[in-house]
Structure 1
């Protein structure tokens, strides 16, 4: 039986994955902050640029973390996870160039591994570094919050027409300093010119069809696009995995759950019902945990009561016994319990008075 199902294409509500690339002074940091402000909610900035983002604290309200070298992929993953855990709506990674070519970044890690562990074999070094870089990319793509990244562009100069048949040299950003193909990972990639205009390299939102100065209003348009998915759209792959794991934890029969609701699989759960469904399952898990805890407490109380009865009976046995072998329960029965010492004391007292030992 085929596991492939086709259904009408419906765009879901999404989280932003946007990259800004440009040379020094092109307005990457400020542009990212203005877009995040327009999107709304709490903003976090993970700053590798010597706290340069804090220069704009009077323009946009945000919380700031200064990221220090070494700029390993794992450090950027930690920043993403910390922002998610803290409940931020948008995280700005300023900049991810450092993850690639910064101090302790991927290129430096490869050079170090190639010259030590792999004895000059850079291919062997890449076999270890590429999966680490991929985990960073996946952390961005799978994040539950909006992600905006900045990237430095390699500087170059070109001659442009200055009018009257004259030429002038202009500084431009030609290529983002990150791994080749990084642009494929984002919904929108904008190149910023030296005069702060954003020019689309890739834009699935269709908001940046013409060069523009980045603004809060552009962020508002992004928010509208992100929230314009179909109300009937189904959950995405990450939501499916989360829901499946919750149901397994709650002991819910997934096949019966789907059959009762007319679903082919959990993939058909509607996006708009995802949070409500997860909340309901969390309640079930909590009730199960409370019931388990109550059962554990009841069993503990019953065991304590039984042990108390056994202790009282043992004291009577010791009092009435004429020899240690007459005891219904040996002293070792209480070893490790709160009654161990009392039983040993009772046996010792009996021995002192009547001459037998435990």
Structure 2
């Protein structure tokens, strides 16, 4: 147990995208993920939509994991863990609707158990484990959710019953939206979006807009308390001690893979010491050795 000062640089984004079919959830999620990482190879899509994520392969070399029925909470958790082990930086779960309302999902499990209210005592902990895995993942997570039109039966002043339309509703267990950093609702097939939940303050009560890579960059700047990767590199270039480099590396957890090379090159200039103080530095060391060997042989 350790008491630490709160720092926004430690934040991992939990972003929701919801909308009707054809409104651009997958495409928007991929652009958003690229804005966060600036590298499609560090993005993975857990695809429950009949391999629809592969339709946008022209965007870049992102990874896909095709998830097939049963869409149980446990299978989603396994998919997330596989992405974490692969050092993925942004996981797109496209979509989480199947975990709730798909074959082998929570509603299907409930029906097979008998459909009684008391059966939820067995299902709710499994669903909550899935939600907890999203919230505790060691990378950024973007979820997509289908929406459906929500109706109710109301009685007017004359006593007549009529159907009232209440807009659209996400097809997942109620309350998931409140767990997110930002929740975007795609409102039409022109990919226009609005924020229905926003802890960042960047998008709430703003005009509708089209999600793109710059949206991800804004969110990353917020994560790092307004600091960006160029500021990190500027600090590295001016650093004069190895201890200072270590501090910069830990200061920017969301940019560590991007600034690794800058850190190592600056460290080599400061002094010739054991580079193993920074994780994964042995990879760069080997690259440097190979480069030096090539130069020597060339001479």
Please give the per-residue CA displacement for 1:204-233, whole angstroms capped at 9, x wherever unaligned. Answer: 122223221000111111222222289xxx
Residue 215 of structure 2 corresponds to residue 221 of structure 1? no
CA distance in 2, matches of 1:173, 1:32: 23
CA distance in 2, matches of 1:49, 1:56: 13
Partner residue in 1 for 2:56: 56
Contact 1:19/1:190 (8 A) holds in 2: yes
SS of residue matched to 2:202: coil
Give the C-alpha shift of residue 10 in structure 1. Answer: 4.3
Contact 1:37/1:60 (8 A) holds in 2: no
| Residues 23 and 273 (structure 1), Cα distance of their counterparts in 2 relative to 1, 3 Å cut | closer
SS of residue matched to 2:59: coil
Please give the per-residue CA displacement for 1:227-284, whole angstroms capped at 9, x wherever unaligned. Answer: 2289xxxxxxxxxxxxxxxxxxxxxxxxxxxxxxxxxxxxxxxx64999xxx97x9xx
Give the C-alpha shift of residue 124 in structure 1. Answer: 2.2
| Residues 84 and 50 (structure 1), Cα distance of their counterparts in 2 relative to 1, 3 Å cut | same
Partner residue in 1 for 2:93: 93
CA distance in 1, matches of 2:144, 2:5: 35
| Residues 43 and 9 (structure 1), Cα distance of their counterparts in 2 relative to 1, 3 Å cut | closer
Q: Which runs of 4+ in 1 moved over 2 A?
A: 7-13, 227-230, 271-275
Partner residue in 2 for 1:124: 118
Contact 2:9/2:252 (8 A) holds in 1: no
| Residues 84 and 141 (structure 1), Cα distance of their counterparts in 2 relative to 1, 3 Å cut | same
Partner residue in 1 for 2:104: 104
Give the C-alpha shift of residue 55 in structure 1. Answer: 0.7
Partner residue in 2 for 1:185: 179
Please give the per-residue CA displacement for 1:18-49, whole angstroms capped at 9, x wherever unaligned. Answer: 00010011110000000001111400000000
Greater gyration radius: 1
CA distance in 2, matches of 1:95, 1:182: 13
Contact 2:9/2:251 (8 A) holds in 1: no
Residue 44 of structure 2 corresponds to residue 47 of structure 1? no
Partner residue in 2 for 1:161: none
**TM-score, normalization by structure 2:** 0.66
CA distance in 1, matches of 2:91, 2:2: 35
Please give the per-residue CA displacement for 1:167-207, whole angstroms capped at 9, x wherever unaligned. Answer: xxxx9961110001111111111111113111111111222
Residue 129 of structure 2 corresponds to residue 135 of structure 1? yes
Gaps in structure 1 of 5+ consecutive residues: 158-170, 231-270, 283-358
Specify which structure has the bigger relative contact order, considering alpha-carbon pairs within 8 angstroms and separated by 6 or more residues. 2
Residue 21 of structure 2 corresponds to residue 27 of structure 1? no
**TM-score, normalization by structure 1:** 0.56
CA distance in 1, matches of 2:193, 2:24: 9
| Residues 128 and 156 (structure 1), Cα distance of their counterparts in 2 relative to 1, 3 Å cut | closer
CA distance in 2, matches of 1:60, 1:212: 23
SS of residue matched to 2:81: helix
Contact 1:13/1:229 (8 A) holds in 2: no
Contact 1:34/1:60 (8 A) holds in 2: no
CA distance in 1, matches of 2:211, 2:45: 18
Partner residue in 1 for 2:236: none
CA distance in 2, matches of 1:173, 1:152: 13
CA distance in 2, matches of 1:8, 1:87: 27
Partner residue in 2 for 1:11: 8
Contact 2:145/2:172 (8 A) holds in 1: yes
Contact 2:8/2:224 (8 A) holds in 1: no
Contact 1:23/1:172 (8 A) holds in 2: no
Contact 1:44/1:88 (8 A) holds in 2: yes
